[in-house]
Amino acid sequence: MQRAVITGLGTISALGNNADEFWQSLIAGRCAIDVLPAMQDITIGIGARIADYDDSQYFTREDLGLLDRHSQYAIIAAREAVADAGLDVDDIDISEAAVILGTGCGGKCTDEETYDTLYKRGRKRVHPLTIPRGMPSAGASMVSKFLHTNGPAFVISTACASGAHATAQAVSMIRSGMADVVITGGADAPFTYGLMKAWEALKITSNDTCRPFSKKRSGIVLGEGAGMMVIESERHARQRGARVYAEVSGIGMSSDAGHITRPDLTGITAAMENAIRDAGIDSNNIDYINAHGTGTVLNDITETLGIKQVFGSHAFELAVSATKSMHGHALGASSAMELIATTLALYHNIIPPTVNFTDPDEECDLDYVPNHARQAVLDAAMSNSFAFGGCNAVIVLQSSSD
Amino acid sequence: MVLNKVTEIIATATGRSPEEITPDTELSSLGLGSLDTITLLFEMEEAFDITIPNEVIPEISTVNDIIEKLQQHNGEQSFD
């Protein structure tokens, strides 16, 4: 079985337009949540938007006709990840690379533009590229088109765990020998009127800020963007002398088969246990958990309980942080951004903090690395993603030996 | 004038200078494939606020064809 290693990282989010800006913001504890421009009658007042995004900086006018906003983000991050991996050079052929993209919303920006044209503006015709631009698989197709890869390309959609499930699929493909190089991660662009109204109706968004694990937490704050990684077989990476950030040693998945939004202790502990077992390590070896940590009352209590159940007394020794407090909840992209944060934490031996942390909650009694990054020797780390619909995915990363 | 506006839209869409585009210019010579042409016609419809019926689209191959179709399907509106 081939081992899967991460050799390239790319991201665009409210925390920055590339992985370096993202990481520097994370370790500085910079919260990118800000007041949103007023949008009609929407009562959600804050979000983590990509500031001053200018699509013409990245794409030609002709390209943009094909690209839903989430596809744009996916391509920007994928281009960076491929360049970061040193795979964008002429003497390396990535034509057989696979593209596995996670997205919670897919082409909803395009869908909404279409509905606006038809139902609101009363037009009889919509943009001719509405179908290819808005189809749920568009992001994967566009990444493969723009990066000229001919391997398998498809989308995995499991709401907020999409990027983690995509990564799990990528790792499975590497392990089986089906692919040597997979470009994977997640992308989402949820700041549209209809989606904002839908989140508003669910009444779980905060108008304060995102404060995971704090007593005064009051809900999620939406974010946007993409996180993409190059995951390679260790053999392929070593042969070409690539820099290895970390090994993806464990993947664990489960389904709650229960409530559609409430996290389920049995489901999330199963996913964590499966990932640790898959990695072939003892749970005591995990030094850091990048939590799902949404900042809702229920998630943070349930996740804390789950960590204590899985890790026993070690739960009080390891570090847990929620980077959604800085990049917001970018839905399908979040789990990929958090994997990038976890990868860089291992690589640099620095734990990004949980910011906006004020009062402790007696039911959330772990070490959440409040407000300030911390240096620590890290050998193994875990990234949790527990999606609406009960689709859970957990990834274990380990330091590379080089 | 219709020709100027049509030329301007085609020039923007293809990245060509307006001087390269004349009424006799074949759309295919500007690198426009069938999907690109349909996208271009959509932009014409938006710009002139009219609808070109699907069934006449196969008849369009030059810049002048576009202008003719726009005029034929313009109804009561005046372009000028």
Give the pLDDT band (50/70/90) at residue A85. Answer: very high
List A165, A292, A364, A391, catalytic entry: A292
Report pLDDT digits (tens) over A337-348.
Answer: 999 999 999 999
pLDDT above 60 for A313: yes
DSSP conformational letter for B62:
B
Report pLDDT digits (tens) over A97-129.
Answer: 999 999 999 999 999 999 999 999 998 889 999
A124 with A262, same domain?
A: no
Tell me whether residue A286 is in a domain: yes
pLDDT of residue B62: 96
Please say which residue of A193, A211, A239 terminates a domain. A239
pLDDT of residue A218: 97
Q: Do B35 and A129 make contact, defined as CB atoms within 8 angstroms?
A: yes
Task: Enumerate the β-bridge partners of residue A229.
Answer: A9, A184
A175 with A308, same domain?
A: no
C-beta atoms surrounding B76 within 10 Å:
4
Tell me whether residue A245 is in a domain: no
Residue A292: active-site member? yes
List A70, A329, A364, A391, catalytic entry: A329
Tell me the residue range of the domain where A373 lies.
250-397
Please say which residue of A239, A261, A296 terminates a domain. A239
Residues 288-327 of A with CB under 8 A from B: none
Report pLDDT digits (tens) over B21-68.
Answer: 999 999 999 999 888 899 999 999 989 988 888 899 899 999 999 999
pLDDT above 70 for B80: no
Lowest mean pLDDT among A35-44, A349-358, A361-370: A35-44
Tell me whether residue A198 is in a domain: yes
pTM above 0.90, yes or no: yes
Residues 34-73 of B with CB under 8 A from A: 35-36, 38-39, 42, 45, 51
Q: Do B13 and A125 make contact, defined as CB atoms within 8 angstroms?
A: no
pLDDT of residue A11: 98
**How many angstroms from the chain centroid is the CA of residue A231?**
15
Distance CA A162, CA A187 (A): 9
A206 with A254, same domain?
A: no
Q: What is the CATH number of the domain that holds A56?
A: 3.40.47.10
Residue A308 to residues A184, A277, A311, A318, B37, Cα–Cα distance (Å): 31, 17, 5, 11, 61
A219 with A260, same domain?
A: no
Residues 117-136 of A with CB under 8 A from B: 124-125, 127-129
A211 with A318, same domain?
A: no
Lowest mean pLDDT among A217-226, A230-239, A258-267, A277-286: A258-267
Mean pLDDT of A228-232: 98
- Topology adopted by domain B2-72: 1.10.1200
pLDDT of residue A93: 87
Tell me whether residue A169 is in a domain: yes
Percentage of residues of chain A with pLDDT beyond 90: 93
Please say which residue of A217, A239, A261 terminates a domain. A239
Q: Between B35, B36, B51, which is nearest A125 by CB?
A: B51
Beta A98-102 vs A246-255: how paired, if at all? unpaired
A62 with A163, same domain?
A: yes
A389 with A313, same domain?
A: yes
Q: Between A60, A65, A124, which is nearest B39 by CB?
A: A65
Domain count across chain A: 2
